Structure 1
Amino acid sequence: MIKSELVLRLSERNPHLYQRDIENVVNTILDEITDALKHGDRVELRGFGAFSAKERDARVGRNPRTGAKVEVSQKLAPQFRAGKEMRYRLNPDGL
């Protein structure tokens, strides 16, 4: 599902709300999660999961086309861990 499909599904379930308002809410939530990760915070949505930023060290990589060595700088990568309730919903027979 992409963001526009999520907005459409939410607007179908909530016909009393304008689609543009739902889109603003979804964008605000995603922006806040992104900003929190950027500042090194952890975002936990109970029953859904937790987002965190993992630090990746600088390393020497290779250009796959030429095989030349390339310096890859240190960076933050997003990480998601599904919550217990989500795991149970995906696997109703048990974990």
Structure 2
Amino acid sequence: MNKAELIAQMAAKAGLSKADAEKALNAFTETVSETLASKEKVSLVGFGTFEAKNRAAREGRNPQTGETVQIPASVAPTFKAGKALKDKVNA
């Protein structure tokens, strides 16, 4: 499912216009992004938790040359599915 299909589904289920559903989706993604950038987590009970996790610097290898390269430390966004979502997917 791509963004346009998601917007169409949201509009149909919520009884909104596609324009309103797109605004809602954009507001949601922007809010989650800003919250993660400020190192806070977003928990949606039953759905899951979005969180920013620190990744330590490490050493890696270039698969083409075998050369050792340094991979710098970074912050990665993660998502952990909640129990209700896991149960629905596994049903």
Deviation at 1:13, TM superposition (A): 2.7
Measured in 1, the distance between the counterparts of 2:59 and 2:47 equals: 36
CA–CA distance in structure 2, aligned partners of residues 25 and 51 of structure 1 = 18
The alpha carbon displacement at 1:91 in A equals 3.2
TM-score (norm 1): 0.83
Give the letter aligned to residue 42 of structure 1: K
SS of the residue 1:80 aligns to? strand
Alignment of 1:14-93 (within 5 A): 14-15=14-15, 17-92=16-91
The Cα of 1:85 is off from its aligned counterpart by: 1.5
Q: Match for 1:4: what amino acid? A: A
Quick one: distance in 2 between partners of 1:61 and 1:91?
35
Q: Secondary structure of 1:34's match? A: helix
Structure 1 residue 3: Cα displacement: 1.9
Where structure 2 has 5 or more consecutive residues not aligned to the other structure, the ranges are: none
Identity %: 37
State the Cα deviation string for residues 4-39 of structure 1 (Å, max 9, x = none): 211011122344x32122111101101111111111
RMSD of aligned C-alpha atoms? Answer: 1.5
TM-score (ref. length: structure 2): 0.86
Uncovered stretches (5+) of structure 1, i.e. residues with no partner:
none
CA distance in 2, matches of 1:84, 1:77: 23
Q: Which residue of 2 aligns with 1:7?
A: 7
SS of the residue aligned with 2:80? strand
